[in-house]
C-alpha cells in the first residue's frame, strides 16, 4: 500500500509540475498577473485529486463500500466542480472576470488531473474482482 501511495505521489507531482511549467512557459509574456491564479488552480486540482485517489485506495479494501465506489466517484466529481467554481467564481463569472482565453486556460489543470484520477481509480476498481 505504501508503494502505491508513493507511486501516486510521484506521478501526480511529475505530471502536475511538468504541466504547470509548460503552461507558464507559454503564458510568460502575456500572463504575468495570471500565473499566481493558475498556480492556485494547479494546487487545488493536485490536492483534491491526490487525496481522492488515496481515499479510494483506502475504501477499496472495505467490502461494503467497494461496490458503491463508482457512484461515490460521480458525486465527488460534481462536488469538485462546485468547489472549484466557488473558489474561482470572481475570475470565472464574477466581478474580476478574466478574458475568454484565461478562463479557458484555467481549465487546463482539470484536463491534466482528471485523467490521472480516473486512471488510478479505475485500476483500483478493476483490480479487485467481486
What's the whole-model pTM score? 0.86
Structure confidence by residue, pLDDT tens digits, 91-105: 777 777 777 888 888
In our burial notation (b when 16+ CB lie closer than 10 A, e otherwise), range 74-83 reads eebeeebeee
Structure confidence by residue, pLDDT tens digits, 115-130: 999 999 988 888 754 3
> Taking Cα atoms as reference points, which of 46, 38, 31 lies closest to residue 117?
46
Structure confidence by residue, pLDDT tens digits, 11-27: 999 999 999 999 888 87
* Class of residue 1 by CB neighbours under 10 A (exposed 0-12, middle 13-18, buried 19+): exposed
Please list the alpha-helical segments (H only) found in the chain: 2-27, 35-59, 63-66, 69-87, 89-92, 100-105, 108-127
By percentage, how much of the chain surpasses pLDDT 90? Answer: 48
Amino acid at each position: 500500500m505504501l508503494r502505491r501511495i508513493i507511486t501516486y505521489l510521484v506521478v501526480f507531482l511529475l505530471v502536475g509540475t511538468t504541466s504547470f511549467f509548460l503552461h507558464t512557459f507559454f503564458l510568460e509574456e502575456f500572463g504575468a498577473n495570471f500565473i499566481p491564479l493558475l498556480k492556485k488552480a494547479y494546487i487545488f486540482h493536485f490536492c483534491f485529486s491526490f487525496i481522492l485517489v488515496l481515499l479510494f485506495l483506502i475504501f477499496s479494501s472495505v467490502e461494503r463500500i467497494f461496490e458503491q465506489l463508482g457512484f461515490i466517484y460521480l458525486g465527488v466529481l460534481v462536488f469538485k466542480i462546485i468547489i472549484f467554481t466557488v473558489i474561482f467564481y470572481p475570475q470565472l463569472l464574477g466581478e474580476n472576470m478574466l478574458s475568454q482565453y484565461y478562463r479557458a486556460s484555467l481549465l487546463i489543470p482539470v484536463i491534466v488531473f482528471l485523467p490521472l484520477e480516473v486512471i488510478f481509480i479505475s485500476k483500483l476498481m478493476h483490480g479487485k474482482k467481486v
